[in-house]
Structure 1
């Protein structure tokens, strides 16, 4: 049996719990899970999950964190 919510990185090189950019939708989200070749993300401040193709998802840069509001949600204090 294989767990889809393990800490291994999916095809898009984003780990579960990592902030990522869904380039197709232009949204920053936290990778919640992967299942059936799809990724599930949720806004850092909460809300409804959305589904994305791993080909459209990549790790978010610090500048994107700030632009997407994730800085406040995650308490990130680094320089942008």
Structure 2
């Protein structure tokens, strides 16, 4: 049985994959902030003199952006 949310998409898209699905979700959840941190630290400190981000700051920034812009329909 596949659980659906109100928009008709599966709530747990990786549920059929078992442990591979858990691994893929973990890669996405922890990989996106790492990519954000890398891009931020590569670009913004040199361009604008802004401070460098640590991993958990990038993780919180990704959560805040997801809440503000509604990107959590995939999680």
- TM-score, normalising length: structure 2: 0.25
Larger Rg: 2
Higher helix share: 2
Higher strand share: 1
Higher normalized contact order (CA 8 Å, seq sep 6+, divided by chain length): 1
- TM-score, normalising length: structure 1: 0.24
